Amino acid sequence: MQPVILAIESSCDETSAAIIRSGKVLNNVIASQNVHQKYGGVVPELASRAHQKNILRVVNDAMVSARISAGDLDAIAYTRGPGLMGALLVGASFAKGMALALKVPLIEVNHMEAHVLAHFIPRFAWDDPLDASHKPSYPFLCLTVSGGHTQIVLVKSNSDMEVIGETRDDAVGEAFDKAAKILGLPYPGGPLIDRYASQGNDRRFSFPETTMPGLDFSFSGIKTAFLYFIRDSKANDPEFIEKNLNDICASFQRHLVGMLISRVEMAVQQTGIHQVAIAGGVSANSGLRKALTAVASKKNWDAFILPMEYCTDNAAMIAMAAHFKFIEGHFSTLDSSPIPNLEMI
Ligand code: KG4
Ligand code: ZN
């Protein structure tokens, strides 16, 4: 069987649809929501409305550009969670409606597992989805870092993943976004911090580190420390941010990346696994990508880094996860519904 699957992602602020045929992702249509920019974070009610507005166009674009008609589809996949309830409901309802109308199976996908499985998306036309030659092979470690999660995952197979370390409070993406907000930058601030950081001196300022037992993280302390640092510095010089933006961003980014990499080093030591992947929106960060590459070459690990379009939220990763479920026969019934705090398998 050469399954053709339509996948829909609507967990947060990107409405996305992708078509996968025989394990090959044919496209990855994404409508980003700019409506949140001025609020400094995602406003759930506005996210649901924007998904509702965009979803038909996004799905239609994916089908048309892949030259797929409704009758060609063998299954419809959707993100079940984790995510914002109102946002997830839009994708879930749309997917169920299509599955029912076309009389094809429904596949529910865990968003965090899909971030990890993005590493199996074939990169080239001739690429075999099950050929692991340039992809991680099981078991491997994946640092999954996004706006809502910070996890170190022990990936034993596409359907067996164990979270061996995670944040006890805020996600690292939240730390990037909150720091950006304090600096007066619009949401999402992570990419902007990254951009300013590339021009700055990353050793100019230092910040306190909060350490947690084992492989866990904490980012709420650093957020508060950053707030006080900026407040105190501005009290001495009202133009402190304008004069030092690049150095502030570079130093803060270096600090966060250091916290992530030190835990990954511990995870490698504890598990003896030397294949390390990164995934999720924050894995687009150039400082993190460079740091992982450097530590991997020093310690002889294999590092796996995604193309940019598969780091932040996208339906291609949902499609990849759905393909594995399809070939293993894992389908859902039409009473499947979103779970905002869905855990890994
Ligand atoms: O995976 P994602 O698109 O959505 C969630 O599932 O949360 O991740 C979004 C997060 C945001 O916090 C955003 O600021 C962050 O990823 N992000 C970055 C970069 N690109 C996106 N953070 C740092 N540097 C980047 N280049
Ligand atoms: Zn995500």
Q: Assign residue 62 the CATH number of its domain.
A: 3.30.420.40
Atom of ligand 1 nearest to the CA of 111: 6
Per the structure, the complete domain to which residue 66 belongs is given by 4-123+313-328
The reply to whether ligand 1 has any atom less than 6 angstroms from the CB of 144 is no
Q: Closest ligand 1 atom to the C-alpha of 313?
A: 3
d(CA 119, CA 307): 9
Q: Are residues 34 and 111 in the same domain?
A: yes
Q: Does any domain span residue 344?
A: no
Centroid of ligand 2 to alpha carbon of 212 (angstroms): 24
Query: Distance of alpha carbon 196 from its chain centroid, rounded?
Result: 22
Number of domains in the chain: 2
- pLDDT for residue 249: 98
161 and 155 Cβ atoms separated by less than 8 Å? yes
Estimate the crossing angle of helix 172-182 against helix 220-236, to 10 degrees. Answer: 20
Domain check: are 95 and 152 in the same one? no
Note whether residue 135 is domain-resident. Answer: no
User: Which pLDDT value is given to residue 128?
Assistant: 64
Instruction: Clarify whether residues 25 and 170 are in a common domain.
Output: no
Both tokens of 179, joined, read 């720091």
- According to the model, what pLDDT value does residue 126 have? 63
277 lies in some domain? yes
Ligand 1 closest atom vs CA 172: 12
- Report whether 234 contacts 240 (CB < 8 A): yes
Q: Please identify every stretch of the chain with a pLDDT value under 70, giving residue numbers as ranges.
A: 125-133, 345
Q: Which of 118, 117, 130 is nearest to 161 (CA)?
A: 117
Ligand 2 centroid distance, CA of 316 (Å) = 12
Task: Judge contact between 98 and 71, C-beta under 8 A.
Answer: no
Query: Which residue's CA is minimally distant from atom 22 of ligand 1?
Result: 190
Cis peptide before 139 (omega within 30 of 0): yes
Ligand nearest to the CA of 171: 1
Asked whether residue 280 falls in the same domain as residue 323, the answer is: no
Does residue 203 fall inside a structural domain? yes
Pair (176, 93) in one structural domain: no
**Does residue 177 have its Cβ closer than 6 Å to ligand 1?**
yes
Nearest to 76 by CA among 14, 3, 11, 27: 3
> Are residues 146 and 171 in contact, defined by beta-carbon separation less than 8 angstroms?
yes
Q: What are the residues facing 109 on neighbouring strands? A: 79
For residue 338, being part of any structural domain is answered with: no
Ligand 1 atom closest to residue 115's alpha carbon, by position in its atom list: 1
Q: State whether 192 and 273 are in the same domain.
A: yes
The closest ligand to the CA of 12 turns out to be 1
Q: Tell me which residue has its CA closest to atom 21 in ligand 1.
A: 281
CA of 189 to the centre of ligand 1 (A): 8
Residue 155 within a domain: yes
Give me ligand 2 centre to Cα 147, in Å: 7
Distances (CA, A) of 82 to 141, 157, 330, 338: 20, 20, 19, 8
Distances (CA, A) of 74 to 6, 178, 326, 345: 8, 42, 9, 24
Predicted pLDDT of residue 125 = 61
Looking at the DSSP bridge assignments, the partners of residue 30 are 16
Q: Assess whether 194 and 291 both reside in one domain.
A: yes
Is 312 close to ligand 1, i.e. is its CB under 6 Å away? Answer: yes
Q: Is residue 341 part of a domain?
A: no
Residue 130 lies in a domain: no
Please tell me if the CB atom of residue 12 comes closer than 6 angstroms to any atom of ligand 1: yes
* Atom 20 (ligand 1) nearest CA: 191
Among the listed residues 304, 313, 327, 255, the one whose alpha carbon sits nearest the alpha carbon of residue 282: 313
Whether the Cβ atoms of residue 145 and residue 172 lie closer than 8 Å to each other: yes
Question: Do 320 and 302 fall within a single domain?
Answer: no
- Does the beta carbon of 173 sit less than 6 angstroms from any atom of ligand 1? yes
Atom 10 in ligand 1: residue holding the nearest Cα: 147
Are 170 and 86 members of one domain?
A: no
CB neighbours of 293 closer than 8 A, spacing ≥ 6?
A: 303, 305
Query: Which of 259, 312, 318 to mutate to test ligand 1, by most ligand atoms within 8 A of the CB atom?
Result: 312
- Do residues 250 and 276 both lie within one domain? yes
248-276 pLDDT, tens digit each = 999 999 999 999 999 999 999 999 999 99
Query: Is residue 82 in contact with ligand 1, taking CB distance under 6 Å?
Result: no
Contact criterion met (CB below 8 Å) for 99 and 8:
no
- Look at residue 32 in the predicted model and tell me its pLDDT: 87
